[in-house]
Structure 1
Amino acid sequence: MSWLRNAAGALTAAASTAGVLAARKHLPGAAKFDRTNHKGEQVTLLEGPAYTTGAIAGIAIGDVESPHVRAAALLATVGAGAFGAVDDLAERGSSKGLRGHIGALVRGELTTGALKVLGISAAGIASAALVLDKDPKTSVAGHLADIVVAGGVVAGSANLFNLLDLRPGRALKAAIGTGALQAGYAGLKGGDPNAGLLSATAGAIAGSWKSDLSSRSMLGDSGANAAGALLGVHTICTAPRWVRAAALAGIVGLTLASEKVSFTKVIESTPVLRDVDAWGRGVPRHSAGS
């Protein structure tokens, strides 16, 4: 009964995420995650590790089509969350943005951002290699290209979600929208054998929603990267080659655009996007827990 496993996975993910956030004042080193948000309010980046923990728990329980898919989802989520946490806690270097980090790497400077890019890319390619079976009609070179493209979708999704984590709830809402599109696509194909990955995502979102929307916490690099990577794995497990290629092209296009255009300015100047972006932020900070 896959629906029962997925429901259990979602509930476990939500409870695990909320549990870590609720216990944050009692966790050793929690103060290292304290930051100041765009309004000058103190928030904690512990939501990132909490989200990652919840997603891992949900993946472990939810229904997927093979052990390889579960392993790939765990690898991508753990890798993205861990490398994101390193950047959150030990950010080094003045370079900003993907172009800045790559530029620093070319100059021989390994920033924590560049380390994150390399680490998440490696995890993305490894997860793609786990789930993509070689088509007998495809050459070895073609199969390797498929793996690189699919790995790019996973790593690129992780980075794109991180670019959205600039306002309360924005990245979480993007995850909801992306998950809904993926569920709809899978439904049109007759079902989703990897719905457990979306259940894990839904549970982690539910567990962090109140704290994030009330500006008491934020996903940070760790949580946003983990959220994007997990949805990226679901994409490459569900979509055919041409959709994966189109997804990567879209991700690359948006990432390059972010170097020139402020997503926040675009959202705030577009009424529909502005309303969706602002929805739910009326939760008072004091009501989101200690």
Structure 2
Amino acid sequence: MRMLGRLLAVGAGAAAARYALRQVRTSPAGPALERTNFRGRTVTLAAGPALAAGASGAAALGATSAAAGAAALVAGVGSGAVGLYDDVVGARPEQKAAKGFTGHLAALREGRVTAGLVKIVGVGAAGLGAAALLAVDPRVAAHRRRQRQGAFGRGVDVLLGAGVVAGTANLLNLLDLRPGRALKSGLLLGTPLTGGPHGGIAAGAVGAAAGLLPEDLDEQVMLGDSGANAFGALLGVALAARTGPLGRAGVLAVLAGLTAASEKVSFTQVIQRTPGLRELDSLGRRAD
């Protein structure tokens, strides 16, 4: 029965994301979401809100409790919404000067609140809300241990969970630089997470991502911050739901290390120089 439920979540995610993509592309807002990709082709950011909506709904459907389902909705919809804000407002000329976390902080010191900073704060808030909801779910791995902790220990555990959700959202966003890269990376991370008691959350997100992968590889669409943040945040919820404080701390350390590395090293260059990663990255992609 569990396997059937996971398959239903995958199918629901794919169907919902593809339906949402058609609706967004043909809506009055559709033309405003058109962008030029790294090769000069016209693509649409409609895949971002489509993935956020489809993956969040299917992940909530696949959750084993109301609290876990609410956590998925808060993380996916919240991260997707602030990501869409950054996709739209951040494209304005006056917003493009601030790059990376340090750039947004520098702008804040000058008295300017960038769209990127709004996204960072919003994703963090979505992660905190999702982690707080997981904290009251007795089916979550760390719940019984939290019951034996004091208020301080429980608070630290929630903060670790929030960091995992926000950090995974940011990682997928950092990888969204070439067609299909963020979706492939998320599928590689999310597929093993479809097992276990909270696998339905990951299954819904994985299904939505798989449903949009062909259009992403064919350079018809791009995820933008909206889709990449939402997909990553949902995978972060699945990770946080199955780990205790030590596991969350370990995952967060890895995410922090990769984020710090991205400020110094180009992931694209690393992938291009690494056999295996290079071929996987280009697999299925539209020819030049």
Task: Tell me if both proteins adopt one fold, taking TM over 0.5 as the criterion.
Answer: yes
CA distance in 1, matches of 2:253, 2:60: 31
| Whole-angstrom CA distance in 2 between matches of 1:180 and 1:14 | 14
CA shift for structure 1 position 135: 1.9
> Could you tell me whether the CA contact under 8 Å between 1:213 and 1:283 is conserved in 2?
no
Q: Does 1:265 align with 2:269?
A: yes
Q: Provide the C-alpha distance between the structure 2 equivalents of 1:256 and 1:117, rounded to a whole number of angstroms.
A: 15
Question: 2:146, 2:23 → 1: CA distance?
Answer: 48
CA distance in 2 between partners of 1:84 and 1:66 (Å): 27
Matched with 2:82 is: 83
Q: How has the CA–CA distance of structure 1 residues 71 and 283 changed in structure 2, closer, same or farther, with 3 Å as cutoff?
A: farther
Q: How far apart, in 2, do the equivalents of 1:161 and 1:125 lie?
A: 18
Which residues of 2 match residues 19-168 of structure 1 at below 5 A?
19-62=19-62, 64-91=63-90, 93=95, 94-132=97-135, 133=143, 135-168=146-179
Letter in 2 for 1:47: A
Equivalent position to 1:228, from 227, 232, 235: 232
C-alpha contact 1:176 1:202 (8 A) present in aligned 2: yes
Report the CA distance shift for 1:73/1:42 in structure 2 as closer, same or farther (over 3 A).
Answer: same
Deviation of the 1:137 alpha carbon: 2.8
After the TM superposition, which residues 235-250 of structure 1 pair with which residues of structure 2 at under 5 Å, given as runs? Answer: 235-250=239-254
How far apart in 2 are the matches of 1:152 and 1:119?
Answer: 13
SS at match of 2:147: coil
Length-normalised TM-score, structure 2: 0.91
Displacement of 1:251: 0.7
Q: Is the 8 A contact 2:59 2:234 kept in 1?
A: no
SS in 2 for 1:43: strand
How far is 1:145 from its partner? 1.2
Separation in 2 of the partners of 1:61 and 1:236? 18
- Tell me the amino acid that sits aligned with residue 162 of structure 1: N
Q: CA RMSD in A?
A: 1.7
Tell me if the contact between 2:25 and 2:46 (Cα under 8 Å) persists in the aligned partners: no
Unpaired runs of 5+ in structure 2? Answer: 136-142
In 1, Cα distance between the equivalents of 2:158 and 2:217? 36
Q: What amino acid is aligned across from residue 254 of structure 1 in structure 2?
A: L
Is the aligned partner of 1:180 residue 2:191?
A: yes
What is the rounded CA distance, in whole Å, between the counterparts of 1:9 and 1:182 in structure 2?
Answer: 13
Aligned to 2:222, what secondary structure does the other structure show? coil
Q: How much has 1:3 moved relative to structure 2?
A: 2.8
Q: What is the DSSP-based 3-state SS (H/G/I as helix, E as strand, rest coil) of the residue aligned with 1:176?
A: helix
Offset of 1:23 from its aligned partner?
4.1
TM value normalised by structure 1: 0.90
Q: How many residues align?
A: 276
Question: Deviating runs (4+, > 6 A) in structure 1?
Answer: none
Cα deviation digits, residues 168-221 of structure 1 (max 9, x gap)? 1100111111113434xx5xxxxx111211211121112101100001101100
Name 1:9's counterpart in structure 2: 9
- The 3-state SS of whatever aligns with 2:39 is coil
2:24–2:50 contact (8 Å) kept in structure 1:
no
Contact 1:55 1:201 in 2 (8 A): yes
Partner of 1:189: none
Contact preservation (8 Å) 1:14, 1:203: yes
1:11 Cα deviation after fit:
1.3
| AA in 2 matched with 1:83 | V
Q: What does the per-residue CA deviation read over 1:36-84, in whole Å, with 9 as the maximum and x for residues that have no partner?
A: 111011111110011112112312322x232111100110000000000
- Greater shift, 200-209 or 169-178, is seen at 200-209
| 8 Å Cα contact 1:10-1:201 kept in structure 2 | yes
Q: Which amino acid aligns with 1:81?
A: G
Give the one of 195, 210, 217 matched to 2:221: 217
Q: Measured at CA, do residues 116 and 26 of structure 1 come closer, stay the same or move farther in structure 2, by a change above 3 Å?
A: same
Q: Unaligned stretches of 5+ in structure 1?
A: 187-191, 285-290
Partners of 2:146 and 2:153 within 8 A in 1: no
Residue 252 of structure 1 corresponds to which residue in structure 2? 256
Task: Indicate the percent of aligned positions where both proteins have the same amino acid.
Answer: 44
Query: Aligned partners of 2:72 and 2:234: how far apart in 1?
Result: 6
Instruction: Call closer, same or farther: CA 1:147–1:24 in 2, change over 3 Å.
Output: closer
| In structure 1, C-alpha distance between the alignment counterparts of 2:219 and 2:25, rounded to whole Å | 16
Contact 2:219 2:286 in 1 (8 A): no
Aligned-pair distance for 1:141? 1.4
Out of 47-56 and 215-224, give the one that drifted further: 47-56
Q: 1:40 to 1:121 in 2, by over 3 A?
A: same
